[in-house]
Structure 1
């Protein structure tokens, strides 16, 4: 079994997610100390999916966020490059007529220009080998006036919280992972990618570079995670 690393080779990363798909959401809820459901709620509010809208959920995993957008009345396309994640998503949400599961690469989205009213990616951009290209692709398939929401781990802004967070990630999280995960190596990769990920202003700059305007971000849990939102220019 080859461990995924910061090279983020697609074959290795997708294989890793295949292995953890069955218990992925439960493990994340435990490792986040219960914060993950709060982050999902805030992402849902930021996307503001409306009845009849088309929403693209990139790196949708098991479809947890996709199901929330479908509850809001949107027609959701849940895209992921891990067959294991998609199979688990279909097992859980395959009966939801509002969700269509699609296998695909975030850097080569299999959709025409301007297809979606909103595009979103939750804790998946960090796993893409070429994240700027993925943002450009999300910009391409979003309609003029449409929106993007990126929910991702980020840089802790509160010094006190940062000390506690660093201690947790370095010492306590590995112990918890051994108890709740079937693949501890996958969560070593998680820690590595979080440490290497750029801060909030840098990701905001990437979004502007991809062609989004009115880009703003909001910290969640003192910056452990952050929500970035932007819009496609109306005249685009």
Structure 2
């Protein structure tokens, strides 16, 4: 585990890194969720796991508000949390006047919201950045109502798949011919790599590593799903370089539940 001092410095580095990217973040492939096949695929993945009924949702690490848009489109009441003021500023502009939406500047690992206040917690590409995952999962469990759902989308950004290694070489060749993508900051950039080296999941986030931690926090009914339908939808509208990027890493969808409250004796 990281010491408190090291943890504090790491969090500030994480905040600064993503704050600096806030104004151009939506220009990087894989962050913006455009209308059409990709939006529909993300919406289907969320609907399948949260159900059709409107729920009170805490979205952690909302960034520029792309998943926020999905959740609102499905009729949910959303508290969108991020600890970067710069990211929240972009999200607020994007969703000015939206109903059923509240923004919250806070740390996703310690949201400081009331006990049992949400029907669901949703996040995308957050879990790999957790500096204290055991504590974070315990906090998220606390925030969920009995019977509530944790849903997150993430991946192993430390180790490209076998096909991903081939795709990486093809992307490098495209970069040499047409020039590097100025908005794509992949997992091998110096700053990104420097942060990863200090994270508990920096050497790879897999479902196998995270499931025991969720169980220890109290979660049950855990299930791991495939990210493949979303990646396939991304490839339908992407150029060759970005189609190749969908092959780089092993991604997954994980859902878990806080058990329902015991039935009252009759």
TM-score range, shorter chain: 0.7 to 0.9
Do the aligned partners of 1:177 and 1:187 also contact (CA within 8 Å) in 2?
no
Do the aligned partners of 1:61 and 1:80 also contact (CA within 8 Å) in 2?
yes
Decide whether aligned partners of structure 1 residues 199 and 36 sit closer, same or farther in structure 2, where only a CA change above 3 A counts: farther
Counterparts of 2:32 and 2:81 in 1: how far apart (Å)?
A: 24
Partner SS state of residue 24, structure 2: helix
Partner SS state of residue 80, structure 2: strand
TM-score when normalising by structure 2? 0.72
Corresponding residue pairs, total: 226
Match of 1:98 among 100, 115, 136: 100
1:29 corresponds to which residue? 30
Do the aligned partners of 1:59 and 1:121 also contact (CA within 8 Å) in 2?
yes
2:128 corresponds to which residue? 126
Counterparts of 2:90 and 2:146 in 1: how far apart (Å)?
A: 33
Where do residues 157-172 of structure 1 align in structure 2 (5 Å cutoff)? 162-169=161-168, 172=171
Do the aligned partners of 1:204 and 1:216 also contact (CA within 8 Å) in 2?
no
The structure that is helix-richer by fraction is: 1
Match of 2:226 among 201, 213, 219: 219
Counterparts of 1:177 and 1:20 in 2: how far apart (Å)?
A: 20
1:62 corresponds to which residue? 64
RMSD, aligned CA: 3.6
Per-residue deviation at 1:140? 0.5
Per-residue deviation at 1:36? 7.1
Of the two, which has the highest radius of gyration? 2
Counterparts of 1:173 and 1:41 in 2: how far apart (Å)?
A: 32
Match of 2:148 among 121, 146, 149: 146
Q: Which moved more, 1:89-98 or 1:144-153?
A: 89-98
- The runs of 5 or more residues in structure 1 that have no matched partner are 1-5
TM-score when normalising by structure 1? 0.80
- The runs of 5 or more residues in structure 2 that have no matched partner are 1-5, 229-246
Do the aligned partners of 2:10 and 2:195 also contact (CA within 8 Å) in 1?
no
